[in-house]
Chain A
């Protein structure tokens, strides 16, 4: 699949996909998006790179370990958010919202603890999907 056209398009599309997925992640609480969707989109972008350039160019074999850490770390992050809720709020996964006034742009920003949980979800989905692809791709 290493055709020049495909590689060129991938080079154009994948950064957009990455940035868009991060955008989807952070707006998830207010508009369609969130950890699952963003995670899937990021992994779609990475899979695209994988398909276009194959396994050698990005040294996936050595980087696959990173994705194992990513999904285990994501799981841990979500769990720790829950634990934090337990210690701060009184029960497991208790969430909280904080409104912070940002000094430079002079706006009220809203921070929800659930967003951190969602970040964990994002890491898990992303890590699992990419690990899956690299595992299968290396299968001979």
Chain B
């Protein structure tokens, strides 16, 4: 319990600490100290998560609950199982390496306080997502990751491109998040609980529900936007404006895997239908293909990695989408592999960027000699990414091929395996583009300064990751039993056993791999020509890219539209507003009274007797009201308003409300004096003369209001929708509050809270009046040309 809380809240606590210490931190010479201290946080988290492994292997899953909004079943509850452990290890482990890497990467000029503050906030949010056992808790943390990602992408906020990228990421993932929330609510209406561990056991109920498809679609929309699936992948390349440690951490290893995580998490509840395979698997395969296609034409190494990340995420998503036991195991293995080699490659790009002053392949090349250590790391990681033997990537690529051969609900044979091989060609090609163009062949241009290798501190993290990549290939058993098997078990719900090995004998996947390598080499040889064709196509047909939709449709389309809409409804003309408000009021009143089927029952109304006093009051009241509205002389208008007030007070007497009558009399007396005092300062006559047509329009609207309200009242007075609760007050008044004047008892006792706020409002009004009358600035003279009388 305590350990769980430490895992999730330690990063938040640390970021808060940094926040509150920031005024002090910004003054002192920080150097590398802050980074080292920050590194302790993921270290502690990592060791806490590792301490759970043994327990999980024995007990399966653990849950903890902390009540939050109990009435709605929303609580802070945590689920620890194989899947969350796997992601927890990725988040804290890569977090640790990234923080160490960033100590080297960030120069002393950068705002380190801000950087670590956001990074820790992200880490906490991400851990919260993977360990949440409540949909609402998960959603909250999910949105927090979007926000911290926004802040980190916009870290160099003085750059235009950073702001564009940050905004784009926030908009796309934010829209997805809202869709996901709607999906969660649908899920709740199916299952009646927000508890993830309970939802996972209700798969049959969910799949047979009529809301299954909309719920899955909406939740998957959230996953797809977060995990940069086609066509929402466009934010990820722009997110590369972030500092490289951030790209390595958020935009390759962890945050973009949140969508993968959620899909995996919910797959016991949702998978196993044709819709699931088509939606998740289809989108995954499409993304894999398009990501690869885009990646091979990039010359910016970071953009290349961004698109390759999209492609790899698509591949993992596809494996989850296939929904078989084997494909889920493959997905888990590849999640681990991808996190390791991709984070390593990002860090290498950061080193290249630092060493050469650019990371564009037009300037960067033949780095093998200048950067020998980086080269070794890149070599291992690229070959793993390309799926070549002895590295982890080979194992998961083989498993991917194997799983494409056995997909349920797909009618056409060989279709998916062919697409898989085709998409893998691109993977092979961009991996080799990175490796060969970057480290072997010469670049067309010279880099801004002569390349130099990073120090040990910068190389430490990539080297550790490269070691992991090698270990994943050579001794996969090191991870498979303790980490990967429980994760696969959590995804499928069936106990998983992994037999990971490099050599499985000559079988279909091996043949597919063989073809991939052969064709991939051919593609790589012709890469320059292919890139030329691609550039031509994108120049001629710009609308092919979803970016076009975002830029033209969203950024340039929506603001003018909302502006026009706002101009229309916010005209600034009070009369216009009033007209809209009144019309809406009238229409809604009519609609309600008609839809409720209220009928005008004049008989009973006519039968009730009426005394002379009542009739006279009514007639006088109407006269006074009309007079108030028609007098042009202000004194007459005020006096007839006062008259109206006194008549209303008299009305209260007739209706058995002495308290009201007294109040109304006194208020009227005081307010007539008040109005007279105020009107003392303004002209005697209301000076505007409205035109005949405006006058007629005003009279018409007021007449309509009057007539509708009259009919409404006629209908309402005769209907009793609910029983009055008055008898409770009448009985309890003397017993509980010791008062016989029920009205007063209600005011000061039963509903004392209302009254307290009312007198507060009363006091606030006088404070406002005081401010208006006493605290005046010296008024500027009215400008020349301003309308005056």
Chain A positions near chain B (C-beta within 8 angstroms): 24, 28-37, 40-41, 43-44, 47, 51, 71-72, 74-75, 78-79, 82, 92-93, 95, 97, 110, 112, 114-115, 117-118, 120-121, 124-125, 127-129, 131-133, 135-137, 139
Contacts and interface: CB of A to CB of B under 8 A. Distances in A.
Given A32-B658, A75-B760, A135 B673 contact: no
A93 B755 CA distance: 11
Interface string B644-675: 00000000000000110011001101100110
Interface stretch (B280-288, B422-430, B565-573, B735-743): B735-743
The 6 nearest A-B residue pairs measured at CB: A97-B738, A40-B666, A29-B739, A32-B658, A124-B759, A114-B749
A33 B669 CA distance: 17
A79 B755 CA distance: 11
B93 to A, nearest CB: 50
B749 A95 contact: yes
B24 interface: no
Interface string B720-744: 0000000000000000111111011
Given A74-B759, A133-B677, A136-B677, 12 more contacts: A28-B744, A28-B748, A33-B741, A75-B760, A93-B756, A95-B737, A117-B749, A121-B755, A121-B759, A128-B766, A131-B770, A136-B773
Interface string B580-596: 00000000000000000
A114 B659 contact: no
Contacts of A92: 753
A78 to B, nearest CB: 5
B383 interface: no
13 contacts: A29-B740, A29-B741, A34-B741, A34-B748, A36-B663, A74-B759, A82-B753, A95-B736, A114-B739, A124-B763, A125-B759, A125-B762, A135-B774
A82 B756 contact: yes
A37 to B, nearest CB: 5
B501 to A, nearest CB: 68
Given A75-B763, A97-B737, A136-B677, A35 B666 contact: no
Contact of A82 (B747, B752, B774): B752
Nearest to B753: A93
Contacts of A44: 666, 669-670
Contact of A136 (B663, B678, B745, B763): B678
A93 B752 contact: yes
Nearest to B765: A128
B756 A78 contact: yes
B765 A35 contact: no
Nearest to B751: A93
Nearest to A121: B759
Nearest to B773: A135
By secondary structure, the B interface counts as helix
B20 interface: no
Contacts of A127: 766
B765 A114 contact: no
B737 A34 contact: no
A37 B667 CA distance: 9
A129 B759 contact: no
Nearest to A21: B666
Contact of A41 (B666, B738, B765, B769): B666
Contacts of A117: 748-749, 752, 755-756
A116 to B, nearest CB: 9
A97 B739 CA distance: 9
Contacts of B744: 28-29, 32-34, 118
Contact of B662 (A32, A82, A118, A125): A32
B512 to A, nearest CB: 72
Nearest to A28: B744
- Residue picked from B666, B673, B763, most chain A C-beta under 10 Å: B666
Contact of A139 (B673, B737, B773): B773
Interface string B33-49: 00000000000000000
Contacts of B759: 74-75, 78, 120-121, 124-125
A78 B758 CA distance: 11
Contacts of A78: 755-756, 759
A95 B752 CA distance: 9
A83 to B, nearest CB: 11
A91 B464 CA distance: 60
Given A124-B763, A131-B770, A132-B766, A35 B670 contact: no
Contacts of A75: 759-760, 763
Nearest to A110: B738
A129 B737 contact: no
B503 interface: no
B738 A112 contact: yes
A43 to B, nearest CB: 6
Contacts of A32: 658-659, 662, 741, 743-744
Given A31-B741, A36-B663, A37-B662, A79 B673 contact: no
A129 B667 CA distance: 10
Contacts of A34: 659, 741, 744, 747-748
Contacts of A43: 670
A115 B681 CA distance: 40
B756 A114 contact: no
Contacts of B743: 32
Given A33-B662, A37-B659, A132 B740 contact: no
Nearest to B770: A135
A139 B748 contact: no
Contacts of B755: 78, 117, 121
Nearest to B659: A32
Given A82-B756, A139-B681, A30 B741 contact: yes
Contacts of B769: 132, 135
Nearest to A85: B752
Given A29-B738, A34-B741, A136-B677, A71 B763 contact: yes
Contacts of A139: 681, 773
Contacts of B770: 131, 135
- Residue picked from B658, B673, B681, B759, most chain A C-beta under 10 Å: B759
A40 B667 contact: yes
A46 B223 CA distance: 69
Contacts of A28: 741, 744, 748
A40 B762 contact: no
Contact of B659 (A33, A112, A128, A129): A33
A132 B740 CA distance: 33
Contacts of B752: 82, 93, 95, 114, 117
Interface string B517-545: 00000000000000000000000000000
- Residue picked from A114, A118, A124, A137, most chain B C-beta under 10 Å: A114
B674 A136 contact: yes
A61 to B, nearest CB: 12
B752 to A, nearest CB: 4
A92 B751 CA distance: 12
Contacts of B678: 136
Contacts of A29: 737-741, 744-745, 748
Contacts of B666: 37, 40-41, 44
B740 A30 contact: yes
Interface string B91-107: 00000000000000000
Given A41-B666, A82-B756, A93-B753, A128 B739 contact: no
Nearest to B744: A34
A118 B749 CA distance: 9
Nearest to A36: B663
Contacts of B667: 40
Contacts of A112: 737-739, 749
Contacts of A36: 663, 747
Nearest to A72: B763
A118 B763 CA distance: 15
A37 B762 CA distance: 14
Contacts of A137: 677
A28 B748 CA distance: 10
